[in-house]
Structure 1
Amino acid sequence: MPHARALAGLLVLLSLSGCMPMSYPPGAKTNTAQLSDNSFLTEDGASLPLRRWLPDAEPNAVIIALHGFNDYSHFFDSPGNYFSKLGIACFAYDQRGFGAAPQRGLWAGGEAYAQDLKQLTRLLKQRYPNKPIYLLGESMGGAIVITAMQQENMPDVAGIILAAPALWARSTMPWYQTSLLWTLAHSMPWLTLTGSGLEILPSDNIDMLRAMGRDPMVIKATRVETVYGLTNLMDAAFDSAGSLRAHTLMLYGEKDEVIPKEPTYAFLQQMLTTDTAEKTVAIYQNGYHMLLRDLQAPTAWQDIVAWIKSGPNQLPSGADSRARQLLSKG
């Protein structure tokens, strides 16, 4: 009880300053969206750094990959190289506020991220008119893919791939966490948080994590209002489970310490009740949050390729069987 009273007192004290969390959306649409070798120019003139991994010959499929929170397009380097050798062209870009994109550290808003993805999808459909296009999102990127699929006039795609999507909605958080986030966002939105001391292991690939720690393009300190914006996005993604009308492959690791099982499994149970498109779920017994960069990442890559080539058949790893077993237990 003393701790609860102290927390309540802190919330009241912080709420007195009366600030508001901000988002920093795109400006007016003054340009035609276009692609160059290393950038994606949006309709409002933002130049988003673009990476490409292209096969030597004409591709048989295309993947658009979206990075996670505080990360950037480099996240897809290893899987992109792998997929390109198997005939799949891959594209990834630094999203607004991340990597080398404009307004680093500032949240553009879920609508802006979805619109950027819509624009790039349209451009790549023009470039590859007869090739199937897949949207792949890791963590925050997965939440953006989910919400983008709800957009009016979203171009048709062959399927979406969600790698540990960010689904930790407020409805699944403890009250003290949502209360503290609201209060900080409305009192000190400029405050930065580092996450140090949380003792969360996002991957078993320690060398990769150390490299990210040294990488200046990875954001290490995050504004509270940006966390607030991410939570808004996770709310929207979580609430879209029942209306997700796309062929879907969802990957999740049983050892994920970033996105809890409870909201993830709740999302899956609701998603699987829709019969408008095929849904395949793969749960990896030794998988962490960064499934595409874990030590067992090639297993997930192989499953993605098999799903793209063959659809909802048995995945090579058997992780879909594992998912059915776990989800059947409720």
Structure 2
Amino acid sequence: MKRLAAISAAMMLSACTPLMIQQAGAPPMGFQGPRLERDVFVSFDGTRLGLSRWEAQGEPKAVVVALHGMNDYANAFHLAAPYWAQNGVTTYAFDQRGFGRSPNRGIWGGDDLMVEDLRAITAVVRNQHPGVPVIVAGESMGGAVAIEAFASDRPPAADRLILMAPAVWGWSNQPLPYKTMLWLAARFTAGKVYEPPRWLTRRVKPTDNRDELIAMGRDPLMVWGARSDTLYGLVAMMERAWGAAGGIKVPTLYIYGANDEIIPEEPSFEAAAKLKATDRSAYYAKGWHLMTRDHQGPVVWADLLSFIRDPQAPLPSGAPTIPGSPTLPNALIEAEGRVKAQVGL
């Protein structure tokens, strides 16, 4: 058995990636570059991706570019974004390639295209809102895309980054039987769509908000199940994100819930431990995976709003930092804020 496991591991490391991956399109004649339309983000290659927006009344004080997770779409932010809009923050969320209203649903978009889409929309938003802070917020898979982008040599034109339970459960942390089966499935049944068994969906919850789970289950724009080569691509992306977390080039807030049943604690703590000492983190005892949609979602919305407004401001919840992360404890930030207030700074 040990010999078989070693051979399987060697095969995974040496083989080429077997994915069906979307390719950049050919921009149409007269293409004038990326732009935002009413419910569409036209990306760098002319591909039309679904767009949702929640606009602040009057001129926004900050703008968020939001990235959803695996099999989700821009509606992932339908609870947090209206709250931010009420507080002077405009949010643009787009359906990443292969998800929601975007073309080629179910076909893996690939790291390069997804990262380039993020660069493109961030540049458009920056130009549309000159002088206003731009913050990227990535949830789960969206967090993995954001990590890769901001750790690259061409980070998006944003001022700071929010990572919400980013997908960092890559090859380094996957159990050997899992990754062996995925390696085999991606090569021999690449186009087969695997849906989670009912017993698993009953036991593993992304949030404690039952009403939200029911609404997601009834939403025709959600994707349920995934091709085996898409799952392979996701795990490879998670591995790259896990390894690149220490290279993020903007101030970052990394949040994680103690009850997360989707992205395990170990790789999440390891990724958070790679952050810079000047970054921030928050660990929610009542948090699950989809933290802005949990029952305690309003607590998270307010904390994220605080960071959106000022990356050095105390988090209203007073949530502790993620265990093992090198980030400045929130209690010290609160104490510093009180001292500054007392001396009139």
Q: TM-score, normalised by structure 1?
A: 0.89
Secondary structure at the aligned position of 2:298 is classed as helix
Q: Which residue of 1 aligns with 2:20?
A: 22
Kindly provide the amino acid, as one letter, of the partner of residue 314 in structure 2. Q
- Deviation readout 1:185-209 (Å, 9 max, x if unpaired): 0110111111123221111001100
Q: Which residue of 1 aligns with 2:183?
A: 182
Q: Which residue of 2 aligns with 1:279?
A: 279
Deviation at 1:20, TM superposition (A): 3.2
CA distance in 1, matches of 2:204, 2:193: 18
Q: Which residue of 1 aligns with 2:229?
A: 225
1:151-230 matched pairs, under 5 angstroms: 151-196=152-197, 197-198=199-200, 199-230=203-234
Deviation at 1:19, TM superposition (A): 10
CA distance in 2, matches of 1:298, 1:49: 26
Q: Which residue of 2 aligns with 1:318?
A: 318
Secondary structure at the aligned position of 1:131 is classed as coil
Q: Which residue of 1 aligns with 2:331?
A: none
Secondary structure at the aligned position of 2:21 is classed as coil
| Residues 62 and 309, structure 2, Cα contact 8 Å, conserved in 1 | no
Deviation at 1:283, TM superposition (A): 0.4
| Residues 269 and 325, structure 2, Cα contact 8 Å, conserved in 1 | no
Q: 1:81 to 1:188 in 2, by over 3 A?
A: same
| Residues 20 and 187, structure 1, Cα contact 8 Å, conserved in 2 | no
Q: Which residue of 2 aligns with 1:327?
A: 324
| Residues 64 and 136, structure 1, Cα contact 8 Å, conserved in 2 | yes
CA distance in 2, matches of 1:328, 1:164: 14
Kindly provide the amino acid, as one letter, of the partner of residue 55 in structure 1. A
CA distance in 1, matches of 2:104, 2:72: 14
Q: Which moved more, 1:146-155 or 1:229-238?
A: 146-155
Deviation at 1:29, TM superposition (A): 4.2
Could you tell me the percent identity over the aligned residues?
Answer: 36
1:53-132 matched pairs, under 5 angstroms: 53-132=54-133
Deviation at 1:6, TM superposition (A): 11
Deviation at 1:78, TM superposition (A): 1.2
Kindly provide the amino acid, as one letter, of the partner of residue 23 in structure 2. P
- Deviation readout 1:23-60 (Å, 9 max, x if unpaired): 12222345321111211112322111111111111000
Secondary structure at the aligned position of 1:172 is classed as coil
Secondary structure at the aligned position of 1:226 is classed as helix
Kindly provide the amino acid, as one letter, of the partner of residue 102 in structure 1. P
CA distance in 2, matches of 1:150, 1:29: 27
Query: Which one of the candidate residues 244, 259, 262 is aligned to 1:258?
Result: 262
- Deviation readout 1:232-266 (Å, 9 max, x if unpaired): 11111111022112100111000000000000001
Kindly provide the amino acid, as one letter, of the partner of residue 27 in structure 1. G
Q: TM-score, normalised by structure 2?
A: 0.86
Is there any run of 5+ residues in structure 2 with no aligned partner, and where? 10-15, 327-345
Q: Which moved more, 1:229-238 or 1:152-161?
A: 152-161
Secondary structure at the aligned position of 2:57 is classed as coil
Deviation at 1:174, TM superposition (A): 1.1
Q: Which residue of 2 aligns with 1:15?
A: none
Kindly provide the amino acid, as one letter, of the partner of residue 88 in structure 1. V
Secondary structure at the aligned position of 1:51 is classed as strand
- Kindly indicate whether residue 42 of structure 2 is the aligned counterpart of residue 50 of structure 1: no
Deviation at 1:110, TM superposition (A): 0.6
Deviation at 1:124, TM superposition (A): 0.7
Q: 1:244 to 1:25 in 2, by over 3 A?
A: same
Q: Which moved more, 1:240-249 or 1:65-74?
A: 240-249
CA distance in 1, matches of 2:194, 2:324: 35
| Residues 53 and 92, structure 2, Cα contact 8 Å, conserved in 1 | yes
- Kindly indicate whether residue 280 of structure 2 is the aligned counterpart of residue 239 of structure 1: no
| Residues 162 and 252, structure 2, Cα contact 8 Å, conserved in 1 | yes
CA distance in 2, matches of 1:327, 1:153: 29
| Residues 56 and 85, structure 2, Cα contact 8 Å, conserved in 1 | yes
Deviation at 1:79, TM superposition (A): 0.8
Q: Which residue of 2 aligns with 1:292?
A: 292
CA distance in 2, matches of 1:105, 1:27: 17
Is there any run of 5+ residues in structure 1 with no aligned partner, and where? 12-17
CA distance in 2, matches of 1:29, 1:151: 25
Deviation at 1:222, TM superposition (A): 0.9
Count of residue pairs the alignment pairs up? 313
Secondary structure at the aligned position of 2:233 is classed as helix
CA distance in 1, matches of 2:77, 2:157: 23
CA distance in 1, matches of 2:92, 2:107: 23
| Residues 18 and 187, structure 2, Cα contact 8 Å, conserved in 1 | yes
CA distance in 2, matches of 1:29, 1:45: 5
Kindly provide the amino acid, as one letter, of the partner of residue 66 in structure 2. A
Root-mean-square deviation (CA, aligned residues, Å) is 2.3
Q: Which residue of 2 aligns with 1:14?
A: none
